[in-house]
Amino acid sequence: MSYAIIKTGSKQFRVKKGQVIDVEKLVGEPGDQIILKDVLQLSLENADLIIGQPLVSGAEVLCEIVKQKRAPKVIIMKLRRRKNSRRKAGHRQSLSVIKVLDIRMEGDSAHGNA
């Protein structure tokens, strides 16, 4: 089974064809196709494991944006005991849900169909 380790939004993900993952927000509308070129490691079905230094040259992952959404709110609370000092803040991260359509090496498909 072929897979790739990609870097997007300062995080790394192990992806394979057909997988749906949540990543930090990418520019685009639902239905748009994007190409991720930050491939750190690549394993194709008919080839050996390729490890980038730091990236695998010529490798790319074709994805489709399924939807844009927001993560649940995270509450940040700072409390200094016995000082009557409190700070409360929240954060809600914007996410993109993407589906991996294909993993390619130098324009060729990892699964034999371009």
Average pLDDT, integer, range 98-108: 86
pLDDT tens digits, 33-73: 999 999 999 998 887 899 999 999 999 999 999 999 999 99
At 114 the pLDDT is 40
Strands (E), 1-114: 3-8, 11-15, 20-24, 33-36, 39-43, 49-51, 59-70, 74-80, 85-91, 94-105, 108-109
- What average pLDDT does the chain have? 91
Distances (CA, A) of 54 to 7, 9, 51, 100, 109: 11, 16, 8, 22, 22
One-letter amino acid at 67 equals K
Average pLDDT, integer, range 94-109: 86
C-beta of residue 45 within 8 angstroms of C-beta of residue 2: yes
- Edge-to-edge strands of the sheet including 3-8? 11-15, 3-8, 39-43, 49-51
Distance CA 64, CA 95 (A): 14
Average pLDDT, integer, range 62-88: 97
